Structure formats: structure tokens, C-alpha cells
Amino acid sequence: MSGSGGGEERFLIETLTPHFGHFARVGKLLYEGQTEFQKIELFESPQFGKALRLDNVFQTSVGDEYFYHEMMVHPALIAHPNPESVLIIGAGDGGMAEEALKHNTVRRVVMVEIDGQVVEFSKKYLEEIHRGAFDDPRMELVIGDGFAWVMEAAERGERFDAVILDLTDPIGPSRPLYTVEYYQAIARLLGDAGIHVQHVENPVTRKELWAQLLANLREAYAQVHPILQYVPLYGTLWSFCNASQTIDPRALTPEQVEARIAERGLTDLMVYNGDVHRAAYALPNFARRLAEAPATPIRLADVDRFDAITAQSESTDHLRIVVE
């Protein structure tokens, strides 16, 4: 791994579908390296400040990370009456851990990240995102495969109040961590009272994948409630999902959410509050219909079915980019 500078100003294009995507102007390439698992790039961008890409896909940025990290963590942990132990899979940038550790009920965060070099990189370059979470005494960092770790922990009878999956998209090696069996193993870790959180792509530019992931979660949980949240860096409306056997996060009133925010000692929140909590679970009609659409759950044996759904697009290399 070697950091490298240089690079003229340019636009980076990211496709959401074969026909639509977004771009970001970037300046200096602050870091570039190849780990055992993926390519890491860190750009300086006028819009987002430092922006992290893994295998050419934007992951997070200093300028907008709170849209994503706050809305993945706080609706679920606030919906849980007393979250003390939190398991985080992936999330190598440390943003999820930082938000979870804000809750004064949290006693233990176990974070399982497959790529230790992403963690080392993030510790050095993304302090504005993890804010020292890796040094919190409540934090246990495990470098390993989150799939194997969860399966073994379920066998050991481990228990967590919340499990947060913050993974790269269900393409290639990440695919097994989006299957029914994986969700069922996490459900064992959570028991009746715990809450599962993950991103589920989105119901606008990744319709089929969004419906598929909800169908997979419904095989493991009685309560499955998607959240809609705009994430600027992703160039589109994004979606997370809370799942549980018993917790329905929508049952909390804005006043109850505000009271729990105060009780938990949550401060300096940029997005999350009682009204945002209530609004986040409201689905527009097209999304309601999409969420109810029949989808055959994807199990480990047919994990290849993800490939047809996630076919992002043909490469843009052959496209002529016209800037008027």
C-alpha cells in the first residue's frame, strides 16, 4: 500500500443503472492503494471534502457521512429500549461505531471488518468520520470475514441487542452476507428483543434489489421496516432497513424519540430527530407496492441470482462523455 498524491482535477462518474448515474468533481488523489480485497482511493472533492472509494464506488465522505451513519444507527438504537451490546459487520471507516458509541447505554461494540488495511487507512485519514471510535475502551475490533464470524457466533449462542451491517454492495464476495441464511443467523444472535440494521440499496434506481433484500429479511424477521434517506454522495434517494421479531420502530412518537435522544446523551446530531424518525419510515405509494411485490428469497445456494439484479451497467469506458 502506498499513498500517492497528484492527479489533475476531473469528474468521477458512478452508474446507478445502465442509463443513469452521477458524477463528482475531484481534485487531488490523496491516497491510492490495493489491499488483498479491494482498491482504496481517497480524493479531495470540492463538494464533499475527503471522499473514500472502494473498487471505484463511493463509500463515504467527510462532508456528508452524517446522512448515512446517523440514519443507519439512531432510529434502530433509539427504538431499542436499552441497547448495550452492538455488533457491526463491515464499516471499516469507523463511522457506524462512532455513532453507536454515542449511546450511553452501549457497553460493548464488536466490529468485524474483513480488510484490516481499510481500518488502518481510515484511522489515519478519516479522523473526521470515526472521531477516535477505534480507541474507545468499549470497542472490540475483529479483522475477519463477517459471514464466518456471525455463523460461528450464532453457534456459540452469542447475544447482541443490535446488529448493523455496513457492507459493500451485494456484488462478488459480499453476496453471501445478503442471503436468507445469514439473516437467520443474525436473528439468532438478536433473539426476540434485538434489532437488525442494514442498507438495502434504494427503491428508485435499484428497485429490484431493494424488493429482493426486503423479501430476504422477511424470511428471518416478523418486523421489517425500510427507511428512506437521501445521501448526497450516492446521488440518489437511499434506503436502510430495521428488522426485528418484536420491535416496530414506527411505534415511537416524535416526542418519545426526542426524550430518548436526551436520555441517551446524544448530541451534535446533524440529521436525526423525532420528526425525522417518524418521517423516515413513511413510504410513498410506489415504494409500498414495490415492498409488497412477491420476490423469491435468495438463499446461499442461489447467491448467483444477485448478479442479474445488480448488473450495474455496461462499462462507461466506451461512452463518449459530452460536456456542453
By annotation, the residues acting in catalysis are: 166
**Cell numbers for 219:** 424470511
- Asked if 110 touches ligand SAM (CB under 6 A), the answer is no
Provide CB contacts within 8 A for 20, sequence distance 6+.
205
Site for ligand SAM in 198-237 (CB under 6 A): 199
Helix 207-218 to helix 180-190 angle, to the nearest 10 degrees? 50
Find cell 472521531 and name the residue.
131
Interaction between residue 100 and ligand SAM (CB under 6 A) = no
Segment near ligand SAM (CB under 6 A), from 168-176, 213-221, 280-288, 307-315? Answer: 168-176
- Could you tell me which of 202, 287, 257 has the C-alpha nearest to residue 70? 257
Cell (9 digits) for 177: 452476507
Q: In a 3-state reduction of DSSP, which class is residue 54?
A: strand
- Nearest CB to ligand SAM, comparing residues 64 and 169: 169
Nearer to ligand SAM, 86 or 114 (CB): 114
- Considering beta carbons, is residue 42 or 112 the nearer one to ligand SAM? 112
Q: Which helix (H) or strand (E) holds 63?
A: none
**25-33, 164-172, 190-198, 257-265 -> range binding ligand SAM (CB under 6 A):** 164-172
> Among 10-18, 163-171, 255-263, 279-287, which window interacts with ligand SAM (CB under 6 A)?
163-171
Which of 130/199 has CB closer to ligand SAM?
A: 199
Rounded Cα–Cα distance for residues 134 and 141 (Å): 8
Residue 112 in the binding site for ligand SAM (CB under 6 A): yes
| One of 75, 92, 94, 226 touching ligand SAM (CB under 6 A) | 92
Gap between the Cα atoms of 260 and 266, Å rounded: 9
48 part of the interface to ligand SAM, by CB under 6 A: no
Listed residue (206, 228, 173) closest to 14, CA to CA:
206
| Smallest separation (angstroms) from ligand SAM to the CB of 193 | 25
Of the CA atoms within 13 Å of residue 321, those in its CB half-sphere come to: 13
**What residue ranges bind ligand SAM (CB under 6 A)?**
37, 54, 59-60, 68, 89-93, 112-115, 118, 145-147, 166-169, 173-174, 177, 199
